Each structure stands twice: as C-alpha cells, then as structure tokens.
Homo-oligomer: A and B are copies of this chain.
Amino acid sequence: MSENLHLAPLERRWSKLAPLTHDDREAILALPFRREVFAKDAYLVREGQQSAECTLLLRGFAYRQMLLRDGGRQIINFLLPNEFVDLQAAVLGTADHNVQSLNRSEAAIIPRSALLDLADVRPNVRTAMWADTLIDAAIVREWVVNVGRRDSRARIAHLLCEIAVRLRNAGAAGEMFDFPVTQEQLADATGLTPVHTNRTLQALRREGLIQLTSGSLRILNWQALREAADFDDLYLHQS
C-alpha cells in the first residue's frame, strides 16, 4: 500500500483510459509531489510561463482562460477535481493560456521530469496520459461548436450537461452537483454577456430543467435539457 493515497483518484482516472497492470498503478501512486492550496481566483498557470512542474487538482475547481487585448475574457474549459491542469505542459514546455482557481482549491504539484520518466518507462501509463490530453482536446472541439453554432439557450444547456456528465463519471453521486460557478464565469465560458446569461438561466429554471444556485447544480429534467442542448456525450470518450 502506497503512502500517496491522494494520487489514488488519478490512478483510478487513468486506469479507465488504458489497461494498467499492478506495477503501473504502483508507479503512479509512487509519483513524488507536494501539495499546495490556491485561493479563489489565484493563478495556477500563466500564459507564456515555463514550468518544471505539472499541477493536478485534488480538491476544488479551476478553469482555462484567455484574455483579449480589449479586456474580454474567454473561458476555454472547466477543470474538475482530480483532473490535470496542465498535462500538455509536460510535453510542450510553455503554457499558451492561463488557469485560474474557481474556488479555494488544493493541488498536487508533480515534477515534470517524474511524469516524463513515468511515460518513458511505463507504456500503459503513457497511453493513459496521452489519452487524457486528447480527451481534453475533444472537449474543447465541442466547445467551438457550442459557442460557434448554438443559441444562448442551447449553449448554456450544453455546458451544464457536460459538467454534470463529467462530474458523474468522476464519481459524483445523484443529480445534485457541487459546481461553484458564477454567472459571469458561465458567460465567459459560453461567449455571452452576464446579463443575457442570467436571462437564459431564468428561462431554463422557469421551464423546470435545472436548478442552479451559486455553489451547486441540479438537473431536474435530463431528457429536456439534453434535448435543448443537442447533447451527445460521445466526445467525452467515457462510456
């Protein structure tokens, strides 16, 4: 039994992405790391930054984000507990976007070299790591469709569907999910204004599809929400 119990969720996550042997699992659990706490809004990664470490969210949420010259902000993806925040940095070296903490969060900081060594020595783990970055890419592709071709109602419905499914696949139980997002952040994720996001959320609530208070999301009518969102979870590669 390893002493790094906190990496157990990572081992569980990767074992879904590739078949892992007992030794593979032990190697993952044996990864060296230090823990760090991030305040709400703190930066986990900064654009242009070169880092010798990778960050794995242990508790709490974060989001990828890019800023425009005019001050606009676009959120590219939300990061859920036990997801890597910058696994791509292990290979590419320099970050091309920012990652900020959504609420107070805690992360495991792992030396980049340790991850690369692991990938070199353990082919199965390597496949899982690679797959992890590829699923991240698939999600972003779906986001392009979301902001590019869906109206505000479908856009928000789709985002909520995705978050709910991802949380459920990560082990969350029931129809009530912890997701401490503000409407402004939801707006930046969907390419809408906070005002219009608010009105659209109200419509979804009025029709009894969702319940979203700051802190938690509850899907009241999956069928209808899925329909409104034109949601198909194939792109999550998880079923």
Residues of A within 8 A of B (CB): 47-48, 64, 66, 68-70, 72-74, 76, 88, 91-92, 94, 96-97, 120, 123, 126-127, 130-131, 133-138, 140-145, 147-150, 190-191, 230, 234-235, 237
Contacts and interface: CB of A to CB of B under 8 A. Distances in A.
A137 B88 contact: yes
B191 A73 contact: no
A130 B76 contact: no
Contact of A68 (B74, B136, B230): B230
Nearest to A148: B191
Main secondary structure on A side of the interface with B:
helix
Contact of A133 (B137, B144, B150, B234): B137
Given A91-B127, A96-B138, A68 B234 contact: no
> Which of A48, A69, A96 gathers the greatest number of chain B CB atoms within 10 Å?
A96
| Copies of this subunit | 2
Given A88-B134, A91-B131, A141 B191 contact: no
A94 B144 CA distance: 20
Nearest to A116: B127
Given A133-B134, A136-B137, A234 B145 contact: no
A97 B232 CA distance: 12
A140 B144 contact: yes
A227 B66 CA distance: 17
A21 to B, nearest CB: 16
